[in-house]
Amino acid sequence: MRGHQCAQRRQQVRLVALGLAAAGLAAPALVAAQALKPVNLMAPCPAGGLSDAIARVVERPLAKALGQMVIVENLGGAGGSLGAQKVLGAPADGSYLYQGSPNELILTSMVLPTVRYKAEDFRFVQMIGTFPLAVLARKGLPAANVDELVALARRQAAAGKPLTYGSVGVGSLYHVIGAHFAQVIGAEMTHVPYKGMAPLLTDLGGDQVDVSFLVVGDSTIALADQGRLEVLATLAPKGQVEAEFLRRYPSINDSASIKDFAFNTWTGYFVRKDTPEPVVEALHKALSATMADPEVRAQLEKIGGRVPAPLSLAQAAQEYQAQTARLRAIATSIKLEAQ
């Protein structure tokens, strides 16, 4: 019983300290030194990938903004659900932040029957970055732009030899967008799932898969510059460019064949939905300060991201709800099913 009371007292002290931080007040040094647990930043992927790179950019500036230690924890597997389930199983005291994207939070629970959570089990605290998507094609594909790709896909489907599109797994955002593209143009295409971005890009470069709808950064553009694959178009809204390195490429929405097909991917930070409001407010304030750090912005841009304007907590809730509704509607229309 005494141990339980001590644990309750530590959590109460933590909530008070984070509440003070939310109000712009510094937590007493004794409280910070003796009672506050480190904030664990859950990156639902192995070390070395894009998600991990984002977490490493955020780690130190967030620790500075919070005034306490932040530790990146990598836990990949099962479409990011292992990390998500660990966060949901931890106390709702702000000691765990989940770094999530549409893949882990919205789509994984729709395709993996072992996943017991849903998007609404998390509360969106702040978006940290958006990342552009593009239509990539193997170098030998006889299509130089989106209109030619659409015409080719329709001819191949009519001949019973549909084009292939690769993704990083069934139910991933890239799978959903590829299937949605095929549905929009009215041409059957064959999905080829991979276990990661690296083997997919290798097969694109080796003419083993026809196209893919992927997040792109400097390294992907370098492959295009080397002639190993083609960038046919970005998925930016008509007339908009999300990153400087993509300015030379048109948008898919500038084509004659496709309209209203704008997508990007994003990364944000989440807590359990039942996390107390003072804790959420403190974390929101710290993440907003992190986004304003020039070094954070520069490092995220270096890996292909863009730091958007900070969202209020109300705006974050609205954005998350809208993104969830949109992707669920698309998943339903393409008949995405649990595997």
292-334 pLDDT per residue, tens = 999 999 999 888 889 999 999 999 999 999 999 999 999 999 9
- The confidence score (pLDDT) of residue 33 equals 35
Mean pLDDT score of the chain:
88
Start-end ranges of CATH 3.40.190.10 in the chain?
132-264
pTM of the predicted model, to two decimals? 0.86
Q: What pLDDT is attached to residue 22?
A: 45
Closest CA to 200 of 232, 237, 175: 175
**Predicted pLDDT at 244:** 79
In this prediction, residue 241 carries a pLDDT of 66
Looking at the chain, the domain(s) classified CATH 3.40.190.150 span 2-128+265-333
CATH number corresponding to 132-264: 3.40.190.10
pLDDT for the residue numbered 134: 96
pLDDT of residue 339: 64
Give pLDDT tens digits for 117-127: 999 999 999 99
135 pLDDT exceeds 70?
A: yes
Closest Cα partner for 80 from 146, 171, 181? 171
Q: And the tokens for 129?
A: 């970055």
Topology, domain 2-128+265-333: D-Maltodextrin-Binding Protein; domain 2 (3.40.190)
Residue 36 is predicted with a pLDDT of: 64
Percent of the chain with pLDDT over 90: 73
